[in-house]
A = this chain, B = another copy of it.
Amino acid sequence: MTQLAIGIDIGGTKVAGGLVDEEGQVLERMRRDTPHRSTSPAVVEDTIVEVVDELLGRAGGAEIVGVGIGAAGFVAADRATVVFAPHLSWRQEPLRDALAARVPGPVTVDNDANAAAWAEYRFGAARGESHLMMITLGTGIGGGIVVNGRVERGRHGMAGEYGHMQVVPNGVRCECGNRGCWEQYASGNALVREARALLLARSPIVEELKAYVGDVDNLTGPAITESAHRGDAAAVELIREIGEWLGLGIANLAAAFDPGTFVVGGGVSAAGELLLGPAREAFRRQLTGRGYRPEARIVAAQLGSEAGLIGAADLTRGEGGARSSSSV
């Protein structure tokens, strides 16, 4: 009998769920808006249970091996508790136990970027890679590390928050409270901030971009990327700058951890080679020991926006030597 897992990806704006098979295929999917952060944790739980129940109704009697959650927040090493989620109302929220009584099968909880990293390792751009670092470029930077077939979560479950490594002393203020965090230079927010400043200053170099988006309030990362793909030189240049910061941070991570592959996902990665080309160039310029050492690959993610739910689902099947055997 087919064994399916349910994966749920909880972001700041959407709760996305899917029925996922052992090959990482999403057989059924559904979405709900994330309840506003001013609501109580129970409301978010209700939303998750709704999504799970709907998916169960579509499972056609398949065995459900578990429910995996990927959440945009700091998840404790016990993989039961969301310690802190900036876009949700969760603070020390015992999510696993709260859900365990309300959905079938075991519940696993992980950080959303860890889940995406796992999906790319199992089914995507980094199959077979022993040392993977995933970088998700959205409004900020998310990170997940997979080493020798296991998610590396760190001592307290919080590894992979490399978006908050400082790359510029006394630099741009970050929502985390610090200054100069990498995600203030290499992210969708950074891209929009820079473009917006040029538009508001009525800079002549962004005339084409202005014509494309119309009002400055329509300015988004995807709009800038689309304008770049249409040949807008200023938009290409803005994305190049993000890519260069991306490559610099990747060189820092390579110095510290020496992975074999960096997978770049998240919304900003839709810019493709306009982003990754400059990132690779900056990485090679900055890598210490270049010429003497093998260089990591920098590749685009393959699973798109569903990586989080696919990985969350698959993580219910275990990691490393502890994976549950398949029964086809």
Binding site for B on A (CB under 8 A): 74, 83-84, 91, 129-131, 143, 145, 147, 152-169, 174, 176-178, 181, 248, 251-253, 255-261, 286, 288-289, 292-294, 296
Contacts and interface: CB of A to CB of B under 8 A. Distances in A.
Contact of A156 (B83, B158, B256, B260): B260
B293 A156 contact: yes
A104 to B, nearest CB: 31
Contact of A154 (B83, B158, B169, B258): B258
Given A156-B294, A169-B167, A178 B286 contact: yes
A44 to B, nearest CB: 18
A54 to B, nearest CB: 32
A178 B254 CA distance: 14
Given A161-B255, A166-B252, A258-B158, A74 B293 contact: yes
A84 B131 contact: no
Given A258-B158, A260-B156, A289-B176, A166 B165 contact: no
A294 to B, nearest CB: 5
B155 A259 contact: yes
A143 B254 CA distance: 13
One complex includes copies of this chain to the number of: 2
A169 B252 CA distance: 12
B259 A181 contact: no
Nearest to A176: B288
Contacts of A260: 155-156
Contacts of A255: 161-165
Given A83-B293, A289-B74, A258 B155 contact: yes
A165 B252 contact: yes
Contacts of A252: 165-166, 252
A286 B171 CA distance: 13
20 contacts: A74-B292, A83-B289, A129-B155, A147-B147, A153-B258, A155-B259, A155-B260, A161-B255, A161-B289, A162-B255, A162-B256, A164-B289, A166-B167, A166-B251, A167-B169, A174-B288, A176-B289, A177-B288, A252-B252, A256-B256
A291 to B, nearest CB: 9
Contact of A253 (B83, B91, B256): B256
Contacts of A181: 288
Contact of A160 (B131, B154, B256, B286): B256
Contact of A143 (B147, B158, B256): B256
Given A156-B258, A158-B289, A161-B288, 6 more contacts: A84-B293, A155-B296, A159-B257, A160-B256, A178-B286, A256-B257
